[in-house]
Chain A
Amino acid sequence: MPRDIEAEVVVIGGGPAGMAAAHSAWEQGAKSVFLLEREKYLGGILNQCIHPGFGLQVFGEELTGPEYASRYIEKLGKTGVQVMTETAVLDLEPSRTIRTVCPRGVHEFHARSVILSMGCREKTRGMIMIPGTRPAGIYTAGLAQYLVNIEGYLPGRKVVILGSGDIGLIMARRLSLEGVTVEAVVEVRNSLSGLVRNYVQCLLDFDLPLLLSHTVTGIVGKERLEGVLVSQVDERWHPVPGTERFLECDTLLLSVGLIPENEISQKAGISLSPISRGPYVDETFATDVDGFYACGNVASVFDLVDYVTFVSQKAGEAAASHRPRGKVRFVLQVGVGTGLVIPQRIRNIEEGILFIRPSQGFRETQIIFRKRDEVFARKKTPICRPSEMIRIDIPSIPWPPEGGEVTIEITGNPIQGI
């Protein structure tokens, strides 16, 4: 029979989000805090990100992913948080019952608060339905990163990367350093998806070609990949007939998007936003089911680990305080020019940060807050890009007193190219 454990706070997933949430919950005074992680080590995705670029905002210095993780592991060591690794959560009930397996057996936790921090997964070839054969040599960029950085294996010698997101760009550099030929980074948009910093440091510095407004339209090769078909696309991302050409390669890396991992959240009856694909959350990252919080990439894909840490601290504090939740006062919707906003609910306008992702790059940007026809706030920023979330302090906005549904729009001069 499952062994029962009573807990004040249970955190599911030991990446940067889970570690920060567990730490803050403990600091806030929670008596029994459990941090459950499926893998053998804490750290989540950070462990495979051996490049620098983490922690400028949280620790005030530039760290690698593993360094960032070990700082937090050290901090946790000074608390009474009980860490259980090799422990996978398989089942979750709205009553905050959590069932896990680990090599020591099955456990059933009964928690007052549950914090979801399971991170996200990568989109695959099947999901984006690239036609063709099914040979070896097709990897998601994150898997390739793990193989290279953690296991020390090379997935191929000549690679095409689909998607100009940060993981794709970082892998282009990493493989070049290993002597692998990067034939091209292919991007369906007419602009870069990742950070400009990564474009400069990973592609330009290594003289690697970026093909904007292009996509992979076919996979060729019987047993191992022999090449891909690449076509130009129009504004609606449809391949332009007659532009298809063959690029020889033995490896295709896909860096085509991340999806929050919410299969177990749904078992608890938590509703998900079709936009973020994570739970609807408020400014403390509370979900719509009592006692459940969601932070980090499981809530919405964040671009910086520092932001993940900030929001997770907030969730940890709220989960440990067990404050009764007020009513939802504002429901935020994405309008023209906006790709995503998180949180999507506001209960208390006195705290928290809004993270807004533009749907494309703009110069001379205005962020417009509208309630029906009435614009009640405008914020300006010189430049914005889909790769970098805009942050606005919730208390800095003159929210209308009576609450309601608010639409957030972004306007400006569209950026084309890099």
Chain B
Amino acid sequence: MKKRYDVIILGGGVVGCAVAWYLSHFECSILVLEKELDVCCGISKANTGIIHSRSYYTPETMKGELHLRSLPWFHQAQDELDFHLARTGALTVALSPDDLAYLRLLQERGQCPEAEILGPKDTQELEPNISENMVAAYYDPQTAVISPFRLTLALAEGAVLNGVDFVFNVPVIDFHSDDRGIGIETETETDYYVAHWVVNSTGFSAPALAEKCGDGVPPLQAYRGEYYVLDKETRGYVKHVLYPVPTSLSKGILVSPTPEGNILVGPNFEPVKPGDTSTTVQGLAEVKIGAQKLVHHLPFDRTIQIFAGIRSVLPERDFHIFFSHRFSNIVHLCGIESPGLTASFGIAEYVGELLEKRGLNLVHKAHFNLRKNAPIFSECSWEERERLITQDPDWGRLVCRCEEVTLAEVKRALFVPPSARTIDGLKRRTRVTAGRCQGSFCEMHLLSTMIALLGFSENDIRKSGIHSHCLVGETREERESYATRH
């Protein structure tokens, strides 16, 4: 069956979701096609989660321009999206007098009256565990950290509330000219989609899809970044985002608090084959050495998880956003590397302007729905907890002991669209399995809740991707009792 939309967005990463949410302010029909089973399964799921302030933008680049354009949105969109941003501030640490020029450059770019360059004593006061080899630091109060999952989900939920459709498990493979627009062919669906305007925000796949349109893009290079996540017990060991003075290739290995109270350490910068998200002994060792230059005795023995993310980088080290030559209404977003998370609102607004130039009429809807975050039980006061439990006893049923997540929150994740259908989907929405036990106490409760509430069988339980089954069948006893029951 043919399904028609005004705009179809390919890819449900932070960028695709930001574009969808932004365009949902206007009178047009919108669809997001995502190859995975959920939003935020690509580059957007594994990064440092920093909203880099103005001090850290790259002048005279598209990514710098969209970075600056995006920053005001983190205030503006609060009311509409209700996401949590932790303004921790940042320190860029100079380890030699040669680095001071760079700190001054940051100060100039930042144009922030409260920002300043601090000597060792003042820096130590702010950050007692900082390395003694530090000679000075640039203090920037505007840097913030965010959960990239929660931002992406806020955008996706906000989009759905304003009429955007999401279809999952549909890898897009090709485009055709259709009498009424652009026809989109997918791998798994018999459905065929037609749109007037198409936004290709498929991250790593964007150049390959551009290729399908006959648009040549220089090949993307994949650079892996590995991380450690430290237990919440280490909360406060580092209070600000700590940047080293960057190398010519990347921002370097950082130490950063997360909004949830963990400490994140990484990433390194290692060329790899696309898609290679394995962690390595060498990479982790490099990250450890890098971090120890900034912080003393970082408690690596409190590591609860290690992971890797992949940057998709073009040779010119900039975003490359352009219209297709053959299909004049397809816009390709290639090379959306760091600070793509920070720049996502700016990218969305810019894409809107581009589409407007090609005839999309941006007429504001008469009514726009605000997206409200559900209460986060672990952050509620005892009075609020009591009130919630009186409304619904599931707020008093603790599913995850480490992150203190209740059954009510898990249910919301299963039923508020775009809803979770996988264990990782539940993790990204509620933080179950993301704590110190990494799911060894709660995974069984998650499985049985999905089976009970969604009518799933054990074969439908997946970690993340379509082939990531968690269970392979039933035990003998279970099979026998099934046979006698029937």
Contacts and interface: CB of A to CB of B under 8 A. Distances in A.
B167 interface: no
B478 interface: yes
Interface string A106-137: 10100000000000011011110101111111
Contacts of A103: 389, 393-394, 396-397
A223 B382 contact: no
Contacts of B406: 101
A358 B469 CA distance: 41
B318 interface: no
Interface residues of A, number: 54
A75 B463 CA distance: 42
Interface in A80-103: 86, 88, 90, 99, 101-103
B284 A131 contact: yes
Contact of B306 (A129, A142, A157): A129
Main secondary structure of the interface of A (DSSP, over half): mixed
B440 A142 contact: yes
B471 A153 contact: yes
A156 B473 CA distance: 8
Given A155-B472, A156-B472, A134 B389 contact: no
A219 B280 CA distance: 10
A122 B437 contact: yes
Contact of B277 (A1, A124, A134, A224): A134
B326 interface: no
Interface residues of B, number: 57
Contacts of A219: 278
Contacts of A204: none
A219 B308 CA distance: 14
Nearest to A239: B281
A219 B306 CA distance: 13
Contact of B304 (A88, A122, A127): A127
Interface in B188-244: 229, 233
B168 interface: no
Interface string B394-435: 111110010010100000000000000000000000000000
A132 B279 contact: yes
Contacts of A136: 462-464, 468-470
Contacts of A134: 277, 307
A151 B278 contact: no
Contact of A151 (B229, B284, B394, B447): B447
B65 interface: no
B383 interface: yes
A131 B458 contact: no
A81 to B, nearest CB: 22
Nearest to B397: A103
A135 B307 CA distance: 12
A324 to B, nearest CB: 33
Contacts of B306: 126, 129, 131
Nearest to B423: A136
A143 B471 CA distance: 12
Given A121-B436, A147-B471, A154-B474, A105 B396 contact: yes
A286 to B, nearest CB: 24
A106 B386 contact: yes
Contacts of B458: 153
A140 B433 CA distance: 13
Interface string A217-235: 1110011100000000000
Main secondary structure of the interface of B (DSSP, over half): mixed
Contacts of B382: 1-2, 99, 106, 108
Contacts of B305: 124, 126
A5 interface: no
B444 interface: yes
A157 B474 CA distance: 11
Given A126-B303, A178-B475, A224 B444 contact: no
A101 B384 CA distance: 12
Contact of B474 (A129, A131, A152, A218): A152
B260 to A, nearest CB: 15
A104 interface: yes
Given A88-B398, A131-B306, A223 B385 contact: no
B393 A223 contact: no
A397 B298 CA distance: 42
A131 B395 CA distance: 37
A148 interface: yes
A167 B382 CA distance: 38
Contacts of B439: 143
A224 B396 contact: no
Interface string A149-191: 0111111110000000000000000000011000000000000
A153 B464 contact: no
Contacts of B359: none
Contacts of B472: 154-157, 250
Nearest to A118: B401
B471 A154 contact: yes
A320 to B, nearest CB: 28
A127 B303 contact: yes
Contacts of B437: 121-122, 124
A345 B31 CA distance: 66
Given A124-B304, A151-B447, A153-B458, A104 B393 contact: yes
Contacts of A122: 437, 440
Given A99-B382, A126-B229, A86 B468 contact: no
Nearest to B46: A134
B465 interface: yes
A135 B396 CA distance: 32
Interface string B446-484: 011000000000100011111111111111111000000
A148 B471 CA distance: 10
B129 to A, nearest CB: 19
Contact of A124 (B279, B440, B463): B440
A393 interface: no
Contacts of A151: 444, 447-448
B124 interface: no
A106 B385 contact: yes
Nearest to A131: B279
Contacts of A146: 444
Contacts of B395: 101
A155 B278 contact: no
Given A136-B462, A224-B469, A152 B478 contact: yes
Q: Which of B279, B284, B447, B448 counts the most chain A CB atoms within 10 A?
A: B279
Contact of A135 (B229, B401, B463): B463
A350 interface: no
Contacts of B466: 223
B443 interface: yes
B428 to A, nearest CB: 14
Contacts of A104: 389, 393, 396
A195 B443 CA distance: 28
B404 A147 contact: no
Nearest to A177: B476
28 contacts: A1-B383, A86-B396, A86-B397, A101-B385, A101-B389, A105-B390, A122-B437, A126-B229, A126-B304, A129-B303, A131-B284, A132-B278, A132-B279, A134-B277, A136-B464, A136-B468, A136-B469, A136-B470, A139-B440, A143-B444, A151-B444, A152-B477, A156-B472, A222-B467, A223-B464, A223-B467, A224-B467, A250-B472
A-B pairs with the 4 shortest C-beta distances?
A152-B478, A126-B305, A103-B393, A136-B463
Given A126-B229, A126-B305, A223-B466, 5 more contacts: A1-B383, A124-B438, A129-B303, A148-B475, A153-B474
